[in-house]
Chain A
């Protein structure tokens, strides 16, 4: 999970020259994130979100940065604060648009982070919600590689305890990798992360 942070940032395109403020700001934020400056990156995305309320991407990344940061942290107060922040900004975008598969994938990530933070307390409560969020994402966008992979990956993670048959899940991972190959992000800043995680999961399947 922790690896997600760096890899996601790396996958974002290098900024080209002729850009507006939005592109410049986003590029700057990704740069900070790539350097491991999570707080600064989140701050930058937050400022863009406050200035440009038409795009869902800045808030999406505020949520993503804070959620992925939480995986590396032990202190529960801090984890709670990060995930609460992530949830708050996601809620802002969710109200504007309930048809965006990426937002549901983000929601599933936040729930997953709660489970990771305290499996004993949150496992039962959030597992069904994680699955439900992925199901919604898949219903909206059946070919979204992150939705297909995320759903399989979450169940693979729990297979140790639930004893679920991993074979059909591994088939889904393979399918997700194919989908990653054909996936075209809508804009240069649209989410496109996840392939390397999927490849790693594929290795564990064999």
Chain B
């Protein structure tokens, strides 16, 4: 190379121009030579690649001050002004490019999935191909560490926190009602079909200052920016039918996904432990419209869901079964713009609106509630340099909730609450080097209802110890308005925000298809809401002097490499937590927390059968329950829980898939807990009934058909 350059140089020396030689060495931050770096004078043809020793020499016809560029793949490009006449044997240092794939990332608390995730804990397909999840995003997340499976509830319980301590966001905007309504002690499902989402980030603690009003966790869902093609998708399932369509134009696209679910035929075939007068049915739909501007994207997401059921449920406190006739209408609209402007400025602006109405007839009583919630958000981000990014923003939440209760066609009681929360936050992403990064932020919020302000610092640090492993630490303060179940009685009571602090230490090892995560955490709760009556009623006396803690260890191992065609992961969570809240007389472990949970998820692809077989086994040790026949509070413990689910996806042709799944293959007789009578019977005993699944097993059969120009696409990702 050098000789060629010299040859060139000598050839040119006979021309009119006089030539100057430029030479030097390119090294990295540690002084190690970089081979193959490109060094040249901008705007001229003069330049060279560095040799094995990082040396370069070339001749140039340019004179005076010139821009000398030095670049190499995984380094930041250097751009310096030199005096051509006096640039010989100089050393140029290139800094590591902190955006490179092997740079450190902050991982404490967050479990990421999707294309933007550097280390994917879950792949997009997993939501749907995990046995037992049946397309329910939340069910798939429950196979990850840090979550507690609460079979009779179905919502996400994170690290000893109640389900309402997790907030759900779609494209950065809060979703006030992420779950469908269900009868007591029967699990709900997430309202979101995995079809329209490409990235999921599930944080089990220590999250960014961008998110507030959540004590334990945030679930961030992002709709697909750009669908791959126009297509129609048809599904026929044992529980209903679904239809989806995507249209793609030059700058915009539209996707719609609708489904009608009716469990009547299914329940006629598979006997249920509960008596449905009218099986659950729902009509739901989601749509996304996207428009691409030159430097930004506008998205509008809308979802509606109308569902109803009539159930006759046994109740330990009454001889006769109680009939519950419930109707739920839900609507959610979210529009956001994300774009770049100026030099390295990024803006996100969004508005979301949620409406939820539940109308329930409980025997002769009648309970109705309506919630209207609005979220406005503005966020600005400036990349000051590759190594320093600053963002700041404002968040505004308005919630209006009304409820009325009519007893036995008699008097009607009205109550409810209005609340607004305004918050400002700022956060800096700092890379000290390719190995050390920090995220430092603070969120200040003012809550109208609780009439308090909070300043919440959030700090995370990550350090890369070796090529494949790194250590992260996160600390944060979090606050949240108490549950709607309490604050709807705020007319007579003054509440305070509940508070928590998180401390998280995370170790991650990740190498080509294998990931190991270990995370230890400590969570300190204060200001939890307490009340003084057996159940929450309008004249309960509330205080905010509850306390609690949670500490534990979460382990996760994922491997898709060791055995060909087999992908599996193992999650284990140990938790030690106690709370003094609700009407608890002492600080104890709440009834939704098992101390040990283990899930094993496997997926095996058999090319000869064109099939993917999956098994998921979830195990957890017993959960506490309170037996009023005993003097010690919350002293009972259920037997351990086990569920083995199986699924089978068979590709009839590339675009036609047959899917089968069944839960609880082994027929374990699971008990989630016990309901005790409020009053003792004639013998002075409190009678009880076990809380169990509605049926031992759940079967699902579906046929999924994709119609598109490109015949390779199918709905495997939606199953």
Residues of chain A touching chain B, judged by Cβ–Cβ distance below 8 Å, are 21, 24-25, 28, 37, 39-40, 42-44, 46-48, 50-51, 76-78, 80-82, 85, 120-121, 124-125, 127-129, 131-132, 155, 158, 161-164
Query: Bound state CA distance, A80 and B74, in angstroms?
Result: 10
Q: Could you list 6 examples of A-B contacts with CB < 8 Å?
A: A43-B49, A78-B73, A78-B74, A81-B74, A81-B100, A132-B228
> In the bound complex, do residue B40 and residue A77 qualify as a contact, i.e. CB atoms below 8 Å apart?
no
Q: Which of A37, A47, A155, A164 contacts B45 (CB 8 A)?
A: A47
> In the bound complex, do residue B45 and residue A48 qualify as a contact, i.e. CB atoms below 8 Å apart?
yes
Q: How far is the CB of B168 from chain A (nearest CB, A)?
A: 24
Which single residue of chain B is at the shortest CB-CB distance from A121? B123
Q: Which of B40, B42, B47, B713 contacts A128 (CB 8 A)?
A: B713
Q: How far is the CB of B607 from chain A (nearest CB, A)?
A: 8
Which single residue of chain A is at the shortest CB-CB distance from B38? A43
> In the bound complex, do residue A77 and residue B100 qualify as a contact, i.e. CB atoms below 8 Å apart?
yes
**B-side contacts of A25, CB under 8 Å:** 45
Query: Bound state CA distance, A143 and B129, in angstroms?
Result: 42
CB-CB contacts of B631-657 with A at 8 A, as 1s and 0s? 000000000000000000001011000
**Supplied contacts A124-B717, A128-B229, 17 more A-B pairs, CB within 8 Å:** A39-B49, A42-B38, A43-B36, A43-B47, A47-B47, A50-B42, A80-B101, A81-B74, A121-B120, A124-B124, A127-B712, A129-B228, A131-B710, A161-B607, A163-B653, A163-B654, A164-B712
> In the bound complex, do residue B101 and residue A81 qualify as a contact, i.e. CB atoms below 8 Å apart?
yes
Q: How far is the CB of A114 from chain B (nearest CB, A)?
A: 10
Which single residue of chain B is at the shortest CB-CB distance from A158? B712
B586 within 8 A of A: no
B35, B45, B47: residue with the most chain A Cβ atoms closer than 10 Å: B45
Query: Bound state CA distance, A17 and B544, in angstroms?
Result: 88
**B-side contacts of A28, CB under 8 Å:** 4
**A-B CB proximity, top 6 nearest:** A128-B228, A39-B36, A43-B38, A81-B73, A80-B101, A43-B49
**A-side contacts of B651, CB under 8 Å:** 163
Query: Bound state CA distance, A88 and B43, in angstroms?
Result: 19
Interface positions, chain B 66-93, Cβ under 8 Å from A, are 69, 71, 73-74
Q: How far is the CB of A107 from chain B (nearest CB, A)?
A: 14
Query: Bound state CA distance, A78 and B512, in angstroms?
Result: 13
Query: Bound state CA distance, A44 and B560, in angstroms?
Result: 40
Which single residue of chain B is at the shortest CB-CB distance from A46? B38
A28, A43, A85: residue with the most chain B Cβ atoms closer than 10 Å: A43
> In the bound complex, do residue A50 and residue B710 qualify as a contact, i.e. CB atoms below 8 Å apart?
no
**A-side contacts of B69, CB under 8 Å:** 50
**A-side contacts of B37, CB under 8 Å:** 43
Q: Which of A42, A76, A128 contacts B712 (CB 8 A)?
A: A128
> In the bound complex, do residue A51 and residue B100 qualify as a contact, i.e. CB atoms below 8 Å apart?
no
CB-CB contacts of B561-605 with A at 8 A, as 1s and 0s? 000000100000000000000000000000000000000000000
Interface positions, chain B 4-62, Cβ under 8 Å from A, are 4, 35-38, 40, 42-49
> In the bound complex, do residue A85 and residue B73 qualify as a contact, i.e. CB atoms below 8 Å apart?
yes
Query: Bound state CA distance, A37 and B36, in angstroms?
Result: 10
Query: Bound state CA distance, A158 and B714, in angstroms?
Result: 14
Q: A76-B101, A81-B74 are in contact. Are A21 and B45 (CB under 8 A)?
A: yes
Query: Bound state CA distance, A28 and B48, in angstroms?
Result: 12
> In the bound complex, do residue A51 and residue B73 qualify as a contact, i.e. CB atoms below 8 Å apart?
no
> In the bound complex, do residue B228 and residue A164 qualify as a contact, i.e. CB atoms below 8 Å apart?
no
**A-side contacts of B567, CB under 8 Å:** 120
**B-side contacts of A77, CB under 8 Å:** 74, 100-102
**B-side contacts of A78, CB under 8 Å:** 73-74
Query: Bound state CA distance, A124 and B125, in angstroms?
Result: 9
Which single residue of chain A is at the shortest CB-CB distance from B40? A47
**A-side contacts of B115, CB under 8 Å:** 125
**B-side contacts of A42, CB under 8 Å:** 38
Query: Bound state CA distance, A131 and B248, in angstroms?
Result: 14
Query: Bound state CA distance, A82 and B357, in angstroms?
Result: 53
Query: Bound state CA distance, A24 and B229, in angstroms?
Result: 43
Q: Which of B42, B44, B49, B711 contacts A164 (CB 8 A)?
A: B711
> In the bound complex, do residue A51 and residue B43 qualify as a contact, i.e. CB atoms below 8 Å apart?
yes
**B-side contacts of A39, CB under 8 Å:** 35-36, 49
B1 within 8 A of A: yes
Q: How far is the CB of A144 from chain B (nearest CB, A)?
A: 20
Which single residue of chain A is at the shortest CB-CB distance from B653? A163
Q: How far is the CB of A57 from chain B (nearest CB, A)?
A: 14
Which single residue of chain A is at the shortest CB-CB distance from B58? A47
**A-side contacts of B713, CB under 8 Å:** 127-128
Which single residue of chain B is at the shortest CB-CB distance from A43? B38
> In the bound complex, do residue A82 and residue B73 qualify as a contact, i.e. CB atoms below 8 Å apart?
yes
> In the bound complex, do residue B101 and residue A40 qualify as a contact, i.e. CB atoms below 8 Å apart?
no
**B-side contacts of A164, CB under 8 Å:** 654, 711-712
**B-side contacts of A158, CB under 8 Å:** 712
**B-side contacts of A85, CB under 8 Å:** 73
A82, A158, A161: residue with the most chain B Cβ atoms closer than 10 Å: A161
Query: Bound state CA distance, A128 and B36, in angstroms?
Result: 35
Query: Bound state CA distance, A150 and B403, in angstroms?
Result: 63
Which single residue of chain B is at the shortest CB-CB distance from A80? B101
**A-side contacts of B607, CB under 8 Å:** 161
Q: How far is the CB of A152 from chain B (nearest CB, A)?
A: 13
**A-side contacts of B229, CB under 8 Å:** 128, 131-132
Query: Bound state CA distance, A52 and B45, in angstroms?
Result: 9
Q: A81-B73, A81-B101, A163-B653 are in contact. Are A40 and B1 (CB under 8 A)?
A: yes
